[in-house]
Chain A
Amino acid sequence: MNIPKNLYQINTSFSKHIAGFQIAWDSTSLGSLKTCPRKYYYELICGWTPKGQAIPLTFGIYYHQVLEQFERYKAQGLSHEQAQIATVRYALQLTYHEGKPWDSGDSYRSREGLLQSTIWYMEQFEDDAMETVILRDGKPAVELSFRIEMEDFPSPTDEPILLCGHMDKVISYGDDLYVLDHKTTKMALTDRYWNQYSPNNQVSLYTLASTLVLDKPARGVIISACQLGVNFVRHMRRPIQRTRDQVLEWYKDTRYWIEKALRYAEQEYYPMNDTACDKYSGCPFREICSADPSVREMYLKSSFDKRIWNPLIPREGDEHTNNQPINLKQGE
């Protein structure tokens, strides 16, 4: 399989010494590997993404940015109503490009949907009992990027193996701390939606990271979900907790999977997991894998776009954040 020898120059989350070996991981890249090594190869190593997948990602980025800005206005001392108005203005400006409003072509993830979902969020949580935590340096715990070095992982090179992530916010609720993570979805917020978070890479990783970033470990992650409808939105929050033993088990599994990734890179071969093709509404690479190997590259070029997923880059569109990633070693 073709692994560019200079992959690390295209994507700095890969090793300089072993082509195709990822040294900086996040929940997305781990999830891709766990689902199917071949999918991981296409997505992370080759950088292929289905055409049109940019819209959910773009909408999600806008959603996060608008709500983050709302938090900043409140932190500046604006009243709720003032902050709301300023946030709506910000959202309109954010989604106006090159002399025209953003048109996603999607009836759910649209400019109107963005305004509807964020305005209703501000309305519903006006008297929010969840308070943003203030870190030791006096800054609010929002948009926290982190990197954790896996010191106990026997790296084959001198490069540290990192677990990376980006927490939207850390809040206190009662006597407990939680990482709050915003999500948008078209799914109904039933048990079927919430069940995807246990087990879940991101929840486990954030719970682990919280033990290193905060004075007191977070009890888990609160998912603040927004169901997008064409003419409605629905907000719901639910805590997803992890015990210490669950987090330790997840970390042990993560080591196992990264060792697998190393083996695949050394052998320059990523096998298909052909039992995963039906999962998550069907793998986007199913048609590629179904085709003869000789034509796959041609199919990829016609049906997919290129996108580099680099866990070391905090988040697209976060140029305005002041937070540098928090680099931690375990036990620090």
Chain B
Amino acid sequence: MDFKNYNQENLLKMLLIGESGAGKTGALASLAKAGYKLRILDFDAGLDILPELLKDTPEALENIEYETCTDELHSAGGNIIPKGIPKALDKATKLLTNWSKANGASKDLGVPAKWGRDTFLVIDSLTHMGNAAMRRVKAMQGTTMKRISQPEWGAAQGDLEAILALLYSNAFQTNVIILSHIAYVGGESAGDNSPADPRPLAGYPMALGRALPPKIGSYFNTLLLCKQEGMGATARRKIYTIPDGLIGVKQPLVNSKIPAKLDISDGLAVFADLALGKKT
């Protein structure tokens, strides 16, 4: 194999991380406007921003399909617990195999692994997908979320890693974007009674505890950061393509003239077009 046509053949599989409200979900709009299809597994029930941003470009909205993967919760005996059996993660894993009505989708869209370079499979968000994994593990044990044992952490983290490994594999021939909040791991205790961590403080994709976040980046060659700069009326949301000191932003386009910060309004589309060789 050689690299002659690498950018025309490879896929873009990336993490987009940011604090709540930094614009991660909204950033997807530029991809739809640029003609990419988005297939979203929505664990956050927070896609409202997309129809708002795309209300003047209905053809772009047509490029988006989503399935909500949430568990119904209720209060029982002072605890917030799933109502019935948690199904969010099971629904998502089935759809990742075959996005079909038989698997709970509203439309038959075929096998995600074969959607190709014009489509992005989006997980929004890894953080809440992790919570769904833990609820599923706990429900099987017949125990509440009040106290989580080490094996239960391991089980939920294993479920999450299995999904990441699937999306990362060469057999999954579709672009992938995983949105995630930020977990700060390492450094002195943050005052939450957790033990001091000898690793330097750094921000990672947030998912299930402290052991998994530093490993998630290894599944992806591209990790970009959404960040809000400024406050109030002058606040601007940006996509960082270079490290910011705490977050290990990485991307392979080191020799292209990609700005260190992209505007949220078109940044993902600019990046995707470059990464997929559609523009130079």
Cα-based distance from A189 to B85 in the complex (angstroms) = 23
Contacting pair A238 B140 (CB below 8 A): yes
Given A173-B85, A174-B85, A175-B87, A129:B139 Cβ within 8 A? yes
Cα-based distance from A194 to B151 in the complex (angstroms) = 10
Selected from A188, A191, A222, the residue in CB contact (under 8 A) with B140 is A222
Given A173-B85, A175-B87, A194:B155 Cβ within 8 A? yes
Cα-based distance from A128 to B141 in the complex (angstroms) = 9
Determine the residue in chain A with the shortest Cβ distance to B152.
A236
Contacting pair B90 A129 (CB below 8 A): no
What residues on A are CB-neighbors of B143 within 8 Å?
124
Contacting pair B85 A236 (CB below 8 A): no
Q: A190 at the A/B interface (Cβ < 8 Å)?
A: yes
Determine the residue in chain B with the shortest Cβ distance to A191.
B154
Q: A125 at the A/B interface (Cβ < 8 Å)?
A: yes
Q: A235 at the A/B interface (Cβ < 8 Å)?
A: yes
What residues on A are CB-neighbors of B137 within 8 Å?
238
Q: Is the interface of B mostly helix, strand, loop or mixed?
A: helix
Contacting pair B90 A176 (CB below 8 A): yes
Contacting pair A237 B141 (CB below 8 A): yes
Cα-based distance from A124 to B90 in the complex (angstroms) = 23
Cα-based distance from A129 to B140 in the complex (angstroms) = 7
What residues on B are CB-neighbors of A190 within 8 Å?
150-151, 154
Q: A160 at the A/B interface (Cβ < 8 Å)?
A: no
Considering the complex, which residues of chain A in the window 217-245 have a beta carbon less than 8 Å from any beta carbon of chain B? 222, 234-239
Number of A-B contacts (CB under 8 A): 46
Q: A137 at the A/B interface (Cβ < 8 Å)?
A: no
Determine the residue in chain A with the shortest Cβ distance to B157.
A191
Instruction: Tally B residues with Cβ within 8 Å of A.
Output: 17
What residues on A are CB-neighbors of B152 within 8 Å?
236
Contacting pair B87 A239 (CB below 8 A): no
Contacting pair A129 B142 (CB below 8 A): yes
Q: Mark A142-172, 1 if CB is under 8 A from B, else 0.
A: 0000000000000000000000000000000
Determine the residue in chain B with the shortest Cβ distance to A173.
B85
Cα-based distance from A188 to B42 in the complex (angstroms) = 35
Q: Mark B137-168, 1 if CB is under 8 A from A, else 0.
A: 10111110000011110110010000000000
Q: Mark B73-94, 1 if CB is under 8 A from A, else 0.
A: 0000000000011010010000
Contacting pair A124 B142 (CB below 8 A): yes
Contacting pair A126 B140 (CB below 8 A): no
Q: A127 at the A/B interface (Cβ < 8 Å)?
A: yes
Given A129-B84, A189-B151, A194-B155, A236:B141 Cβ within 8 A? yes
Contacting pair A174 B90 (CB below 8 A): yes
Contacting pair A191 B142 (CB below 8 A): no
A170 to chain B minimum Cβ distance, whole angstroms, is 16
What residues on B are CB-neighbors of A189 within 8 Å?
151
Determine the residue in chain A with the shortest Cβ distance to B104.
A175
A83 to chain B minimum Cβ distance, whole angstroms, is 16
Cα-based distance from A124 to B142 in the complex (angstroms) = 6
Contacting pair A235 B154 (CB below 8 A): no
B76 to chain A minimum Cβ distance, whole angstroms, is 10
Considering the complex, which residues of chain A in the window 157-210 have a beta carbon less than 8 Å from any beta carbon of chain B? 173-176, 188-191, 194
Taking Cβ atoms with an 8 Å cutoff, the residues of B that contact A are: 84-85, 87, 90, 137, 139-143, 149-152, 154-155, 158
Can you add 9 more A-B contacts, CB < 8 Å, to A124-B141, A190-B150, A222-B140? A129-B142, A174-B85, A174-B90, A191-B154, A191-B158, A194-B154, A234-B151, A236-B155, A238-B137
Q: Give the 5 A-B CB pairs with smallest separation, nearest first.
A: A189-B151, A174-B85, A237-B140, A125-B142, A191-B154
Taking Cβ atoms with an 8 Å cutoff, the residues of A that contact B are: 124-130, 173-176, 188-191, 194, 222, 234-239
- Residue pairs across A and B with Cβ atoms less than 8 A apart, 8 shown, are A124-B143, A130-B140, A190-B150, A190-B151, A194-B155, A236-B152, A238-B140, A239-B140
